[in-house]
Amino acid sequence: MDQDSHCRAERELLEGVSRITTSSTPSPSDEEQNQPKAEISCHVRKEGPEKDDLQDSNASLSPNSSMTTKELQQYWRNEKRQCRQVQLLFEIPSTRIVEHHLSKYVMYKIIILQTGSFDSSKSVIERRYSDFERLHRNLLEEFSEEMEDVTFPKKTLTGNFTEEIINERKLAFKDYLRLLYSMKYIRRSKKFIDFLTRPELQEAYGCLRGGQYTKALEILLEVIGLQERLTRGNPLSVVPTLCAVVVCHKDLENPASAFEYGEKALSHLRVHTSHRYYIPLLETMITLAYELGRDFLSLQEKLEEWKAKKDPVRVFTLKELAVREYVK
């Protein structure tokens, strides 16, 4: 076959394929052609769960008009809880019975996980019944209205150490923490955050004061991730813990790690130069930067700038401030 014949055959084949494709594609009917564009765009919009769909979904959940005011309030309270996106997940997988001198109690192991991310880190703490009881009592003082429908497992006179009672409380405390965390004002409250972090921080600072820097650092690094997650709206509250980590690393002669955590703490204090930790941290960072061969002049300028604006007052060192934290 010559070249012209080959090209002609190829064209005929392509034309045949084109005719088949065209005939297989349905043409719009007269009704579809006359359909208003606005209506068509509406169909396109409804292919995904957009805002309109969510509104329709909410409309289908409307309460009965015969509800009383109290029932209506309870209905919307429950709806808000169900629709709220949970960021932390609480699990109580196990317990252990502790016998100490004349006392005997159950310790509940609480695992706190972050949801909605690829962060695989988790926090593990232990609390006993009396810790939960104290938290509940403290929250009732401040959030009596929010806590109105929150039930707390009652203490029994007998059988507190049976497997049945312990398992019931494991589930009850898990639901209890989940419910508290679902309430914005409670999960941001100091009382709730202290329940989850204060015992570990007290232990860590006790080790720091005793010169047990390795042990203190181990506990601080374990709890700081949870503390940061719980106080996202208030990063200043994490500054003392970050500075305690700086002190531990510095005394353990890990200047690079100390400088890393110091930079993180300093970033939280950038617009809070009157904070009690600002100048002690700045002075420590200048020393670390000089030791590491990094830029310390910019830090020195900040220090001189602060001193020029403020009257000279006695300032504690970073370590002096750290050892004063959580002193009973």
**Residue range(s) of every CATH 3.30.1520.10 domain in the chain:** 87-188
- pLDDT tens, per residue, the chain with 328 residues: 444 544 454 455 445 434 434 444 444 444 444 443 333 233 333 334 433 333 433 433 445 555 677 666 665 565 554 444 548 999 999 999 999 888 899 999 999 998 765 556 789 999 999 999 999 999 999 999 999 989 998 888 777 889 999 999 999 999 999 999 999 999 999 999 999 999 999 999 999 999 999 999 999 999 999 999 899 888 999 999 999 999 999 999 999 999 999 999 999 999 999 999 999 999 999 999 999 999 999 999 999 998 888 776 778 999 999 999 988 6
* Predicted local confidence at residue 11, as pLDDT: 52
| pLDDT computed for residue 94 by the predictor | 96
- State residue 190's pLDDT score: 94
User: Tell me, what's the pLDDT at 157?
Assistant: 72
What is the location of CATH 1.25.40.10 in the chain? 200-324
Instruction: Decide which of 3.10.20.600, 1.10.357.10, 3.50.30.10, 3.30.1520.10 is the CATH code for 87-188.
Output: 3.30.1520.10
CA torsion 47→48→54→56, rounded to 10°? 10
Please give the structure tokens belonging to residue 146. 């929010």
What is the pLDDT, as a whole number, of residue 35?
Answer: 40
- Give 200-324's CATH code, choosing from 1.25.40.10, 1.20.120.160, 3.20.20.100, 1.10.3720.10: 1.25.40.10
Contact 114, 88 (CB under 8 A): yes
**Strand pairing class (103-114; 88-100):** antiparallel
Q: Which pTM was predicted?
A: 0.71
